[in-house]
Amino acid sequence: MLRLVCEKCGRSGQLRVDKLIEQHGRNYMLPRLKDDLVRDCPRMVRKDFADWCGAQMPDLVTLK
């Protein structure tokens, strides 16, 4: 599982790594994945750079 969390707005979710690989392929870049997942975040939509989206994937350091 790969978690996506945002401490600024409280949004969170989990994604199955095997499903991500199945959908996007092994060469899909994880930073691009995060950008794709937060595209609808209100902080991203209004482009307020002073209050940018704080989404993170804290499990990336443990994936192998």
In the structure encoding, which two tokens stand for residue 44, read together?
Answer: 């991203």
For the question of whether the overall pTM of this predicted structure is more than 0.75, the answer is no
In the structure encoding, which two tokens stand for residue 42, read together?
Answer: 């209100």
Q: What is the DSSP string of 1-64?
A: -EEEEETTT--EEEE-HHHHHHHH-TT--HHHHHHHHTTT-HHHHTT-GGG---EE-GGGGG--
In the structure encoding, which two tokens stand for residue 56, read together?
Answer: 């993170």
Structure confidence by residue, pLDDT tens digits, 17-63: 899 889 889 888 877 888 888 888 888 777 777 777 888 888 877 65
Per domain, the residue ranges of the chain are 2-59
